[in-house]
Structure 1
């Protein structure tokens, strides 16, 4: 049974309840001072606490999507790394292959013409040779006969680290929100390409082209848009792509829009930070390359690089977000850097969590839609 399986959660919660009831029931019998009684009390308390903590951890993981599998949890995930593509055509016939479909959990979702569709895909970068799974949300209009020749804007949607692409669907409800907004006329129908920025798990690559390692920024700036555009009816003119993400994904979204305005006409960072960290999860990202380190620092980019012709959105909360003051300073500095445009969503209170991002996503998607072209 998988880490995110409901059966696992029910089993662990049931076991915790049984142990709790058993502890209460047998405690009087273990009240003696013998070594057996003491060992029994210690064992019951330890087992009960372990199962309670495991239950809480499983609930939190299902709610926030930290880890997708047991291998991911224990740092043994190795199936989605950097691969060598030995044939252009390959078994899948191209850089993007659809491996499954599911309906969107909205009224009428059983019919793609009414609810749209979510496709699970595998993408292999032609230039970076990075392989990554993703989910693609196609709006209902994509399947309706009257729109069969229409192209659509697309947005890359990124999780935080470690994060799972599944969490963008179940936890943050991007497809459902996009469907509702488009149905109410608040945004144009848009294709969403949803994945995590961790393309070489368990390493956190921070959307950086690592010397001798994964060329993550190039994958998101070149290979992924090319693969999606070749497979789906996405607008081919500049201004057809946007990018949005939370936390690490928010940092990546801002960086991609600032570094590649010819690809991403708009980037939205939900609770972002502005400089790539170096810690045990990232390893040595720059290998002593000062230029790469500077490019990964958005403060340095604002000061030393030409202002890109792109639109940026940042979000934060006055109470509950450590990066609130940094976000205010980022807004101030971007305002002075024309032609870059800056917008914000500043909540009175919130936090670095799904509940806060769910409050920001509708307005962020509406903002993103208004800055993209469908041609």
Structure 2
């Protein structure tokens, strides 16, 4: 049975009702020695507490998309088949042109909670050694005969940790927030790509860590090549942006600044610069990795300022102040815009920012798309 969705949630509610009724019906009817009666009543109390906690957890998980499956929750899902040392550029010395074309089969998603226009595929990364699901949303213009020969810009979207790639469509409600703006022409007809970012029971820090995980190459090499091989898009960085919230915001800013040859713009919603802001991150546990994957350090240590436009949003130390630090360190052609928000570190805040974020992306990328 799926962890998410209506069926399991209804079952947990039924269990809560049973847990409430049991003491009412049986409390005074238990027979036997005092120890036996006491043990029976204690079990009823514990059952009531456990079911109450369970129903709250399921409700919160469904609302925020923290864990997509039982494997994600229990830490038994393994999406890393290999984690070779791929070198500084994350390709292991290979060129994308030398790799065979990746032809994927996509299934259309018919889940009303995820909105329309969404499809899914399972990708095995030829470079990263990662395998996982990738969701792709195509704008209405994609199948319009007037756009038949046009290549489309792409926005890769990253979830927080824990978090599901479906969050962008179920909880952040991307289609509701942004699709009307795309249809009206206020926002460019972006293809939105949501790859799996939970690759184990730890936050990967969106990094390549030999022997553990090649999360960077999974997102910036394998997923990008697959999209280019299956849809009308170019691998030119001018047509690619990356957006994330929370830990995904950190990942979006970090990957864009580290790979201006792959992305021209990024949006960090309540992200952070220092990996230590997410203590469970693999890059926060090692002093060298922590320094190397600090977004501010990446920007400051670049040999030449990256040609990347970056929008950072947040409240206080939760995104806003890290964004100001990046803005003060940026030199042309790097552009850093910072926007203050209110409401805290929650999904509704990020959902409400999507129209602004995608309008901003359209302005930044418009000369090139």
- TM-score bracket for this pair, using the shorter chain length: 0.7 to 0.9
- The TM-score normalised by the length of structure 1 is 0.84
After the TM superposition, which of the residue ranges 230-239 and 63-72 deviates more from structure 2?
A: 230-239
Equivalent of residue 354 in structure 2, options 334, 337, 361: 361
Q: Does 2:200 correspond to 1:201?
A: yes
Alpha-carbon spacing, 1:82–1:175, altered in 2? closer, same or farther (3 Å): farther
Structure 1 residue 36, shift from structure 2 partner: 3.4
CA distance 1:103–1:146, shift in 2 (3 Å):
farther
3-state SS of paired residue (2:123): strand
Aligned residue number for residue 50 of structure 1:
50
1:208·1:216 contact (CA, 8 Å) conserved in 2? Answer: yes
Q: Where do residues 90-169 of structure 1 align in structure 2 (5 Å cutoff)?
A: 94-102=101-109, 117-169=117-169
**Could you state the TM-score of these two structures normalised by the residue count of structure 2?**
0.85
Is the aligned partner of 1:295 residue 2:292? yes
Q: What secondary structure sits across from 1:371 in the alignment?
A: helix
Partner Cα separation in structure 1 for residue 235 and residue 320 of structure 2: 38
Q: Partner of 2:95 in structure 1? A: none
- Local SS of the residue matching 2:224: helix
C-alpha change, 1:97 and 1:16, in structure 2 (3 Å) is: same
Q: Which residue number in structure 2 is paired with residue 342 of structure 1?
A: 336
Corresponding position of 1:68: 68
Residue 140 of structure 1 and its aligned partner are, at CA, apart by 1.1
CA distance in structure 1 between the aligned counterparts of 2:365 and 2:24, rounded to whole angstroms? 61
Whether 1:234 aligns to 2:233 is yes
Instruction: Kindly indicate whether the alpha-carbon contact (under 8 Å) linking 1:96 and 1:228 is maintained by their aligned counterparts in 2.
Output: no
Contact kept in structure 1, 2:256 and 2:263, CA below 8 Å: yes
Please state how far the C-alpha of 1:11 moved relative to its aligned partner: 1.1
User: Could you give the per-residue CA deviations for residues 274-329 of structure 1, whole angstroms, max 9, x where no partner exists?
Assistant: 122398844478878x4x543301222233323211111111125xxx52563354
1:209/1:99 CA distance change after superposition, 3 Å: same
Q: Which residue of 2 aligns with 1:307?
A: 305
- 2:364 maps to 371
Q: Please identify runs of 4+ aligned residues in structure 1 that moved more than 6 A.
A: 30-33, 284-288
Shift in CA distance, 123/178, structure 1 to aligned 2, threshold 3 Å: farther
Post-superposition Cα deviations, 1:238-258, rounded to whole Å, max 9, x if no partner, equal: 310000011111001001111
* Contact 2:139 2:189 (C-alpha < 8 Å) held by counterparts: yes
* RMSD across aligned positions (CA): 2.9
Q: 1:340 to 1:23 in 2, by over 3 A?
A: same
More displaced stretch, 292-301 vs 41-50: 292-301
Q: Which runs of 5+ in 2 are unaligned?
A: 84-99
> Is this contact kept in 2: 1:302–1:333, CA < 8 A?
no
Q: Secondary structure at the match of 2:126?
A: coil
Asked if 1:246 is matched to 2:245, the reply is yes
| Secondary structure of residue in 1 paired with 2:268 | strand
Aligned residue in 1 for 2:322: 327
| Deviation by residue 1:22-55 (Cα, 9 ceiling, x = unmatched) | 3234445569993333323222111111001100
Equivalent residue pairs, number: 351
For the 8 Å contact 1:98–1:119, the answer to whether it is kept is no
The answer to whether the Cα contact below 8 Å between 1:208 and 1:285 also exists between their aligned partners in 2 is no
The question of whether the paired residues in 2 share the 8 Å contact of 1:95 and 1:124 is answered with no
1:201-249 Cα deviation digits (max 9, x unpaired): 2332111111233222223222321221121011443310000011111
Unaligned runs of 5+ in 1: 85-92, 110-114
Measured in 1, the distance between the counterparts of 2:103 and 2:275 equals: 29
Worse-matched range after superposition: 132-141 or 325-334: 325-334
Distance 1:235 1:178, change over 3 A: farther
1:88 corresponding residue in structure 2: none
The answer (yes or no) to whether the contact 1:139–1:179 under 8 Å persists in 2 is: yes
Deviations 1:59-104 (A, max 9, x none): 11111111111122111112x22359xxxxxxxx843512411258
Q: Which residue of 1 aligns with 2:3?
A: 3
